[in-house]
Copies of this chain bind each other. A is one copy, B any other.
Amino acid sequence: MSYRAPTEDIRFVLNELADLENVLALPGFEDVSSDLVDAVLDENAKFVEQAIAPLNQSGDTSPAKWSDGSVSTSPGFKKAFSEFAAGGWQGLQHEQEWGGQGLPKLIGAAVSENMNAANLAFSLCPLLTDGVIEALTAVGTHDQQSRFIPPMLEGRWTGTMNLTEPQAGSDLAQVATRAVKQGDGSYRLSGQKIFITYGEHDMAENIVHLVLARTPDAPRGVKGISLFIVPKFLVGEDGTLGPRNDVWCASLEHKLGIHGSPTAVLLYGSGKGDVGEGAVGYLVGEENRGLEYMFIMMNAARYAVGIQGIAVSERALQHAVAYAHERVQGQALEGSAGPVAISNHPDVQRMLLNMRALTEGGRALAYVAAAACDTARRHTDPAARARSKAVYEYLVPVVKGFSTESSLEVTSLGVQVHGGMGFIEETGAAQYYRDARILPIYEGTTAIQANDFVGRKILRDGGAVAKVLSAEMRALVVQLQQESDKAGRDADGLDLIARRLGAGIEAYDKATSFILANAQSSLRAVFLGSVPYLMLAGTVHAGWQLARAALVCSQKAHADEAAAFYTTKLATSVFYAAHILPRVESLSVSVLEGIVASRYANEAGGK
Question: CB within 8 Å of B: which residues of A?
Answer: 164, 167-171, 173-174, 194-195, 253-257, 321, 324-325, 328-331, 333-334, 339, 341-350, 352-353, 356, 408, 412, 415-416, 419-426, 430, 433-434, 437-438, 440-442, 445-447, 450-451, 492-493, 496, 500, 523-524, 527-528, 530-532, 567-568, 570-572, 574-575, 577-579, 582-587, 589-590, 593-594, 596-607
Of chain B, the residue at the smallest CB distance from A426 is B254
Are B353 and A604 within 8 A (Cβ)?
yes
CA distance A601 to B331 in the complex (A): 18
Which of A348, A440, A570, A586 has the most C-beta atoms of chain B within 10 angstroms of its own C-beta? A586
Are A423 and B256 within 8 A (Cβ)?
yes
Partner of A438, one of B423, B500, B528, B584: B423
Are A590 and B597 within 8 A (Cβ)?
no
Instruction: List residues of chain B with CB within 8 A of the CB of A324.
Output: 606
Are B571 and A582 within 8 A (Cβ)?
no
Of chain B, the residue at the smallest CB distance from A597 is B578
In the A-B complex, the 7 residue pairs with the smallest Cβ-Cβ separation, listed nearest first, are A343-B606, A582-B586, A571-B604, A347-B447, A578-B593, A346-B527, A582-B589
CA distance A12 to B342 in the complex (A): 44
Are B589 and A578 within 8 A (Cβ)?
yes
Instruction: List residues of chain B with CB within 8 A of the CB of A587.
Output: 582
Instruction: List residues of chain B with CB within 8 A of the CB of A171.
Output: 329-330, 339
Partner of A416, one of B343, B445, B593: B445
| A346 with B423, Cβ < 8 A, contacts A169-B329, A568-B604 known | no
CA distance A586 to B321 in the complex (A): 26
Copies in the complex: 2
Instruction: List residues of chain B with CB within 8 A of the CB of A596.
Output: 492-493, 496, 574, 578
Instruction: List residues of chain B with CB within 8 A of the CB of A568.
Output: 604, 607
Instruction: List residues of chain B with CB within 8 A of the CB of A339.
Output: 171, 173-174
Partner of A583, one of B348, B440, B586, B597: B586
| A433 with B164, Cβ < 8 A, contacts A441-B423, A575-B600 known | no
Partner of A606, one of B325, B437, B447, B600: B325
| A423 with B344, Cβ < 8 A, contacts A416-B445, A568-B607, A597-B579 known | no
Are B571 and A344 within 8 A (Cβ)?
no
| A423 with B334, Cβ < 8 A, contacts A571-B603, A590-B579, A606-B344 known | no
A357 to chain B, nearest CB (A): 11
A480 to chain B, nearest CB (A): 14
Are A590 and B578 within 8 A (Cβ)?
yes
15 contacts between A and B (CB under 8 A): A171-B339, A174-B339, A255-B424, A343-B605, A346-B598, A346-B602, A349-B604, A408-B412, A419-B445, A423-B437, A492-B599, A493-B596, A496-B593, A532-B579, A575-B600
